[in-house]
Amino acid sequence: MTLTELQMKDIILMENGKRVGNVSDLEINAQNGHISAIVVTLRGKMMGLFGKEEELVVPWNQIITIGTDIILIKSPEQVSIIEEAGK
C-alpha cells in the first residue's frame, strides 16, 4: 500500500462513525523503519486561526482496521491534535 492510497481513504471514528478527515502524512520510526503514526488533516478545519492547519496524530496502534475506502480508528482521546503553520 502506498501513501497515495492511504490519502484517499476517509478516517472514521469507531465510537460514532463520524468522518474525521484524511491522511496527510506518516510518522516513521527511524530505528526500525515501521510506521509509528498517521497524521490526519481534520475535516472542516483546513485553515484555522492565523492560517494554521489542525492535524490529528493517530498512533499506529490506535488504528482498528484499514479497509478499501476507510481507516477505522479508536477514540480521539487516544490521539494528539497538533497545529502546523499553513502551507
Q: Return the DSSP state at 16.
A: T
Count of domains for the chain: 1
Burial of residue 44 (number of CB atoms within 10 Å: 0-12, 13-18, 19+) = exposed
Give pLDDT tens digits for 23-53: 999 999 999 999 999 999 887 654 455 555 6
Q: Residue 87's pLDDT is what?
A: 42
Q: Inform me whether the pLDDT recorded for 54 exceeds 60.
A: yes
Please report the pLDDT score of residue 51 as a whole number: 52
Give the range of the structural domain holding residue 49, as residue numbers without chain letter.
Answer: 3-85
CATH classification at residue 24: 2.30.30.240
Reference 27, options 3, 4, 43; nearest CA is: 3
pLDDT beyond 80 at 79: no
Buried-state track 61-76, b at ≥16 Cβ within 10 A, e below 16: ebbeeeeeeebbbbeb
| Total-model pTM | 0.75
